[in-house]
Amino acid sequence: MNVRTLLILLLSVILVAACDSEKTLKTYGLSGQTMGTAFNITLVTPPADTDLKKLHTAIFEELEHIENVASTYRSDSEVSAFNTNPSTDWITVNPEFCDMVSSALAVSATTNGAFDITVGPLVNLWGFGPSEQAHELPTDDEISVARNKVGYQMLRTDCDQNALRKISAEVYVDLSGWAKGYAVDKITALLDAEQIENYLVEIGGELRARGHNNKASKFTIAIEKPLQNNDMQHTIIHVSDVAVATSGDYRNFYERDGQRYSHTIDPRTGRPVTHDLTGVTVVSASTAYADAMATALLVLGPDEGPALAEQLGLASYFMVRTDQGIEEISTSQFAQLRQ
C-alpha cells in the first residue's frame, strides 16, 4: 500500500486529576497551542496580587518569541535564517539562539551524537520536517546524501560574541527536540519571577513542577505505556521541583508494510529508530536537558540507553516491547520517585 498513514498519538504523559473528595486549593489554568502541540499551565494558589492577565500575556509572548527563534516551521525564524545562510564564516545570531545551540551541542557530546540538532536533513527526508507531504520512503542513496550533512561537530559556537559557524554550508539545524523543554524552562522562570511557588507547566508532554498540587501534595504524573488493544497501563511518579520529559516511538510515526517509522532519527544510521525501546522518561532539573536526554536515550536503545543513564546518574524510565508485553527498566534514581 502506497498511502502513508500518519498516526499521531499525543499525550504520552497525562496529568492525573486529583480526586475531589478532599478539599482542593484554588488553581488557575492556562492552555493553548504552541509549537504544533498543546500546552497546559496550572498555578496553585498564586499570590493574591498576581496580575493573571498580564502573566497570561507574558506567557503567550514568550512562546511566540521562542517560535520566532527556534521554529524551522517559520521561514522567517532565526533558525531558518541561519539554515538558509550558506556562509561558513562566523554568523552573528540572537543570543538566545546561540545559547540553545551551545547547550544542545553539549548534550550531543554527552550522548556521543545520539542527540544531534544537525539531524534536520534526515528528519526532513523521512517526512517529519516542515514540508510534511507524503512521499516514498527514501532510498539508500538519499539517506547517504543527507547523512553527509549531519554531524554536530560541523557546528561551532562563540556565544560571548553571539556567533555560530557552520563548517559545511549544508548544515541545517533542527531545534524541535530542544525547544519545547526550553520553553517550559523559560515559562517557569517567568512564574518564579512572579513569586509563584506552586505550579505545573507542560508543553507537549515535557513538563516541570514546582511546589505542590491543589491537594497540597506533590504532583502526580502518569506515564502511559504503549500497549496494544488500547489497554494503556501506566506507572505513576510523584514529583516536585523537577522536570519530566518523555520521548516515544508511539506518538508521531507512520507505518509502511508493517514497519513503524517514528520521528526520532538515529544519526548513526540515518534512519528512524527501529529497536524495541518504545519510550523513555527522564526526570531532571532542567526541562530542556530532560527533553534532549529522553530523545538521546531513545536513540541509544534498550541496552546503551539505560547504561548511559546509570552512568550519568540520571533518573530515567525505559519501556521495552517484548513478546510478553512491556518490560520496564528504571535507573535507581527513578525508582525512588515511584514510592
CA distance 105 to 109: 6
Please name the residues in contact with 212: beta carbons below 8 A apart, sequence gap of 6 or more.
Answer: 44, 198, 218, 219, 240
Burial of 114 (0-12, 13-18, 19+ CB in 10 A): buried
Nearer to ligand ADP, 177 or 305 (CB): 177
Nearer to Mg ion, 80 or 247 (CB): 247
Among 127, 248, 302, 306, indicate the residue that binds ligand ADP (CB under 6 A). Answer: 248
Judged by DSSP in three states, 108 sits in: helix
Residue 113 near residue 152, CB atoms below 8 Å = yes
Nearer to ligand ADP, 27 or 274 (CB): 274
Identify residues 119-178 at the interface with Mg ion (CB under 5 A): none
**Chain position whose Cβ is nearest to Mg ion:** 291
Residue 169 near residue 87, CB atoms below 8 Å = yes
Segment near ligand ADP (CB under 6 A); pick from 55-63, 142-150, 264-272, 327-335: 264-272
Q: Does 123 bind ligand ADP (CB under 6 A)?
A: yes
Nine cell digits for residue 121: 536533513
> From ligand ADP, Mg ion, none, which one binds at residue 270 (CB under 5 to 8 Å depending on kind)?
none
- What's the start-to-end Cα distance of the chain, in Å? 47
CA distance 37 to 331: 29
Nearer to ligand ADP, 63 or 117 (CB): 117
Q: Does 291 bind Mg ion (CB under 5 A)?
A: yes
Among 67, 78, 116, 224, indicate the residue that binds ligand ADP (CB under 6 A). Answer: 116
Segment near Mg ion (CB under 5 A); pick from 61-69, 115-123, 216-224, 244-252: 244-252
| Partners of 328 in beta bridges | 319
What is the DSSP secondary-structure string of 228-256?
Answer: STT---EEEEEESSEEEEEEESSSEEEEE
> From ligand ADP, Mg ion, none, which one binds at residue 272 (CB under 5 to 8 Å depending on kind)?
none
Under the rule (CB under 6 A), what is the footprint of ligand ADP?
A: 115-117, 119, 123, 128, 174, 176-177, 180, 205, 247-248, 251, 263-265, 267, 291, 294-295, 299
